Amino acid sequence: MHRRFLLLAAVALAAGLPRTADSATALDFAFATIEGAPLDLAAFRGKAVLVVNTASFCGYTPQYAGLQKLWERYRERGLVVLGVPSNDFGQQEPGSAVEIKRFCEVNYSIDFPLTEKVAVTGAAAHPFYRWAAAELGAAAAPRWNFHKYLVGPDGRLVAWFPTRVAPDDPPLVQAIEAAVPR
């Protein structure tokens, strides 16, 4: 029985699932980087994290420029911008990891972390997104590309912002200002 539990725990961790059944923070989740390396959100403990589902061929794709500016402005103060490519909305992120990364670097000089492409809605959604929607309610779930979740330094969800809220919109900037470590 003990071996079976350990095997199930290892599979859950590898799949990005929380380490415990009563996971209470974003720090209990993991993604893979766009290059395929493990990306444990616990590595960002003590930092604010702006998690944004992204797409390369969306009317909101120019928000990449604003996200890069946020990253440049606040990273020294403890903000991590985390781009999460997703093809969930209008198939606007059809490319491979290599194509997505190249698009971001060439067109927007992105150097903030990007994850592998994942689902952010429905039953197949990445566990972080299922957890965030459960924590904040269905109204806070992504309805399109460039939906934003702000995670505080303690891993708790601080706020969410729909697609139409640009990275330089005052409510988002104020929330980041309040969330970054002093």
> What is the chain's Cα-based Rg?
16
Catalytic annotation present for 104: no
| In contact, 125 and 119? CB cutoff 8 Å | yes
Q: Which residue has the tokens 């903000």?
A: 79
Q: Quote the CA–CA distance of 124 and 14 in Å, as a whole number.
A: 15
Report how far residue 96's alpha carbon sits from residue 117's, in angstroms, rounded to the nearest whole number. Answer: 8
Angle, CA of 54, 142 and 167, to the nearest 5°: 50
Q: How far apart are CA 167 and CA 68, in angstroms?
A: 9
Query: Which residue among the candidates 39, 58, 100, 165 is catalytic per the annotation?
Result: 58
Give the CA distances from residue 55 to residues 64, 106, 145, in Å, rounded to whole numbers and listed in that order: 9, 15, 6
Provide the annotated active-site residues: 58
